[in-house]
Amino acid sequence: MKKYNFNSGPSILPDEVLAQAARAILEFNGIGLSILEIGHRSTWFVDVIEEARSLVKELMQLNDEYEVLFLHGGATTQFMQVPMNLLDDGETAAYCDNGIWGSKAVKEASLFGNVVVAASSKDKNHTYINKDLKIPTDSKYVHITTNNTVEGTQWHSFPDTKIPLVADMSSDIFSRPINFKKFSLIYAGAQKNMGAAGVNLLVVKKDLLGKIKRPIPVIMDYRKHIEAKSLLNTPPVFAVYVALLTLRWIKNEGGLKEMERRSIEKANLLYSTIDSLPIFTSHIAKEDRSNMNAVFFLTDPKHEEPFLELCKNEGMVGVKGYRTVGGIRVSMYNALSLESVQAFCDLAKRFAAKHK
């Protein structure tokens, strides 16, 4: 049976990336060794990570003011590593709490300094993006989560502020062309749009660093990773390689403009279908709906289990909503085809016709 992969992460990868990665496990670039066996300081791998770093800058159109790092720990580690590097004792950072990951980031940052919630959408269960930011003038940085994977909301434009803007872009990185220069620091777990789980991308403006007095453990210090060109310790070699393959795929497919065109087409198809069927309901403010993660519900809760069972039987994988939210979640990352979304929409229409 054909499978349709709507997982929220780890998520779908392009077929050609999977094929190339599979071949590299057996033998990498004809060298007689697997990608899993090569040394991380060998020229074979240094070439991989340097090309990946270069492609990130190219796709983001960034200059040498910025450094690109591939780090361990995923985006969750950055909830504490960002304030560890940017926020000194007694200093203030402003955070936007528009979902579960923003809430977690607030909690971790509070261990390092004074955190002010500049905007929150908790009053409506995170069903919209609160764009009315109240940022203290002495804030060292402002933190946002650009796409809320769990709740299904997304920033479609970004706040203008003279204070350095920091963003968790884990679930919509490389899905659209934006002015990345608006941000002083960007981080993203790879397992949505950028590759396999196990590596975290960090892009940072160099002049943001080195301003705190608190000692930073070497392995947590961005400056030390920059000096070592992401080779301070053994990186997740295979995950970095898959990220490189995915970045190549994005570029070869037409870059971020093409990713955005496809994303909008898929999202419009999904949302127009759901909106046309009274059996489904969405609580998300339409202007804030995510193009990456559509979250919606069955109008009558008794229909949810039968619908999920039908999805399972039809090979629709990963459509059950996050455990704290429930409902249905359809994730539409870069590698997901329009045909997969159409198949889901056809299934939804069939189900609706039988349960009027």
Give the per-residue pLDDT at 309: 97
Greatest alpha-carbon span in the chain: 65
Share of the chain residues as helix, strand and coil, in percent rounded to the nearest 5: 40, 20, 40
| Residue pair 320/334 in contact by the 8 Å Cβ criterion | no
Mean pLDDT score of the chain, rounded to an integer?
A: 97
Q: Which tens digits make up the pLDDT trace of 80-89?
A: 999 999 999 9
Residues annotated as part of the active site: 101, 168, 192
Task: Give the DSSP H/E element, type plus range, for residue 166.
Answer: strand 165-168
Query: What integer is the mean pLDDT of 234-239?
Result: 97
C-alpha separations of 355 from 39, 134, 298, 317, 344 in Å: 58, 46, 11, 22, 17
For residue 301, what is the DSSP state?
G
Q: Which tens digits make up the pLDDT trace of 130-159?
A: 999 999 999 999 999 999 999 999 999 999
Q: How far apart are CA 143 and CA 70, in angstroms?
A: 20
Q: Which tens digits make up the pLDDT trace of 323-351?
A: 989 999 999 999 999 999 999 999 999 99
Domains in the chain: ranges and CATH: 15-252 (3.40.640.10), 255-354 (3.90.1150.10)
Closest C-alpha to 168, from 141, 186, 192: 186
Band of pLDDT at residue 356, cut at 50, 70 and 90: confident
Band of pLDDT at residue 2, cut at 50, 70 and 90: confident
